[in-house]
Amino acid sequence: MKPTPLESWIIERTRLETPSQEALKAYQLDRLKATLQYAQSRSRFYHERLKGIDWDTMDSFKAFETVAFTTPEDIRHNAYDFLCVPTHEIERIVTLNTSGTTGDEKRLFFTHEDLETTIDFFHYGMRCLVDENDKVMVLLPGPSFASIGDLLKKALQRSRIECIVHGILDDVEAAAACIFQNGITCIVGIPMQVAYLSRMKPELFDTHIKKVLLSTDYVADALVKSLSRNGTCQVFNHYGMTEMGYGGGVECDCLSGYHLRENDLYFEIVDPITGKVVEDGTYGEVVFTTLNRQAMPLIRYKTGDKARFLEEPCACGTFLRRMEKVRGRIENTLSLEGQEITLRDLDEIFLAYESVIDYRVACYDPKRLHVNLVLDKNSDTKAFQNTIEKHLRMRFQSKFDFEIEIEEDDRSSKITRSMIKRKIHDCRQGAKR
Ligand SMILES: [Zn+2]
């Protein structure tokens, strides 16, 4: 088995003399120091935040671990204070609203060079799954300039791989026609949307689609299982967010955790309560620092995602680290009747049913969870009431002790079009919204 294509790319970009963890660590430490100095001397935010730093002792990862975290709230309140270049050097501004709440936007800035490093990562990252015999369809925002779709297309052009940026899925028939007409073999998209397409048009996955790359949200194992269609379709996971410059890591052929964009990003896993870096193998919050970002470097940025580093080397034989597939958002944990429940637990129960295409979960009172299921328009409501609902309730109660109310959502058969990350809505009195 060949090591992930990211390995030779990272060796080349970092000019490592020996391909080893130690050599890569030395490069990263060097870049961390350079980033701290760059950000402190150029951005108003980090000028203040890093004021007390003792530069003489900043020569180890341990010392770096004493640097304060940057949070999404910091960006929300002071986006322009993060800028390290004059505004005329900004080529792309992304306004993000991942919570869907008005006034909750984050702005992120990228120079031409910043976008170029992302295209470069996509170029080599996509080689983990496709080659010049493939044709790719992107079901992500695009094709406007510097959208994720546009950057992916530019990256694939460098490998002479045909790519159609279809945009977010809103018309299954149109997407299916596009796949047939163009002989698409690989889809890149949002997990719930790609799953919906496969449930509506299973024949596409029997005849055309051999590979899928899922991005932008936590991916339930139940979805991966259903998409893989008994192994005829390979389901790869990508980890990324706009703050990382879209791309963060991607699975190799072994499909057992991401290899990371370690030349541009330094990743840590920290205890979400104490903020201390945890041992490999232990779950915690993913924190990253950009190593080459020009417009808006981020230092120890808290992602809110739960994951862990895997201790065992990957079967592909690379020396690069491996992060287990993200297990969801840390905030998506609810405590009810003394038990903890996560969106992941719910996904594994509800999304295992092919007729469930989405669901919304909310908690209004201290003893009960309220679930609205969005069902496939072809599914029979009566059958739902008689069998599926009963099964779901049984599966749920075999795991949890509290009550659940299940209803069919009246938005029935409407697929989620939004990029907003799914969450548990805690509407109990006094709960943090
Ligand atoms: Zn690997």
pLDDT at 173: 94
Ligand 1 centroid to residue 282 C-alpha, Å: 20
SS3 of 313, please? coil
Ligand 1 centroid to residue 7 C-alpha, Å: 9
pLDDT tens digits, 319-359: 999 999 999 888 888 888 888 888 888 888 888 887 888 88
For helices 148-158 and 112-125, the axis angle rounded to 10 degrees is: 60
Does position 412 have pLDDT exceeding 50, yes or no?
A: no
CATH fold, domain 1-326, is Rossmann fold (3.40.50)
- Number of helices and strands (H, E) in the chain? 14, 18
CB contact set of 279 (below 8 Å; sequence gap of 6+): none
Ligand 1 centroid to residue 27 C-alpha, Å: 21
Ligand 1 centroid to residue 333 C-alpha, Å: 30
Does position 413 have pLDDT exceeding 60, yes or no?
A: no
Ligand 1 centroid to residue 320 C-alpha, Å: 8
Ligand 1 centroid to residue 4 C-alpha, Å: 5
pLDDT at 416: 60
Ligand 1 centroid to residue 384 C-alpha, Å: 41
Ligand 1 centroid to residue 128 C-alpha, Å: 9
Over residues 229-241, the mean pLDDT reads: 92
pLDDT at 360: 86
Share of the chain above pLDDT 70, in %: 93
Ligand 1 centroid to residue 309 C-alpha, Å: 13
Residue type, 189: G
pLDDT band (50, 70, 90) for residue 204? very high
pLDDT at 101: 62
- List of E strands, 265-396: 265-270, 284-290, 301-307, 333-336, 339-342, 356-365, 368-375
Ligand 1 centroid to residue 67 C-alpha, Å: 31
Does position 195 have pLDDT exceeding 60, yes or no?
A: yes
Ligand 1 centroid to residue 3 C-alpha, Å: 6
pLDDT band (50, 70, 90) for residue 397? confident
- Give the domain ranges of the chain: 1-326, 333-426
Ligand 1 centroid to residue 351 C-alpha, Å: 28
In the numeric block, which tokens belong to residue 281?
């193998």
Over residues 102-122, the mean pLDDT reads: 92
Ligand 1 centroid to residue 313 C-alpha, Å: 8
Does position 420 have pLDDT exceeding 80, yes or no?
A: no
Q: Which residue in 177, 138, 191 sits closest to 161, CA to CA?
A: 138
Among 40-49, 258-267, 290-299, 396-405, where is mean pLDDT lowest? 396-405
pLDDT band (50, 70, 90) for residue 206? confident
Ligand 1 centroid to residue 80 C-alpha, Å: 38
Question: For residues 247, 252, 257 and 263, what is the CA-based torsion angle, rounded to 10 degrees?
Answer: -40
Ligand 1 centroid to residue 126 C-alpha, Å: 14
Ligand 1 centroid to residue 315 C-alpha, Å: 6
pLDDT at 268: 98
Q: Which residue has the higher pLDDT, 150 or 104?
A: 150
Question: What mean pLDDT, rounded, does the chain reach?
Answer: 91
In the numeric block, which tokens belong to residue 197?
């397409």
pLDDT at 383: 72
Q: Which residue has the higher pLDDT, 350 or 209?
A: 209
Does position 387 have pLDDT exceeding 90, yes or no?
A: no
Over residues 115-120, the mean pLDDT reads: 98
pLDDT tens digits, 46-101: 999 999 898 899 999 999 999 999 999 999 988 999 999 999 999 999 998 766 56
Ligand 1 centroid to residue 13 C-alpha, Å: 19
Ligand 1 centroid to residue 239 C-alpha, Å: 14
pLDDT at 414: 57
Ligand 1 centroid to residue 149 C-alpha, Å: 25
Ligand 1 centroid to residue 6 C-alpha, Å: 9
Superfamily classification of domain 333-426 = ANL, C-terminal domain (3.30.300.30)
Ligand 1 centroid to residue 286 C-alpha, Å: 20
Ligand 1 centroid to residue 23 C-alpha, Å: 19
CB atoms within 10 A of CB 316: 21
| Residue 406 Cα distances to 54, 69, 195, 369, 387, angstroms | 56, 40, 22, 9, 13
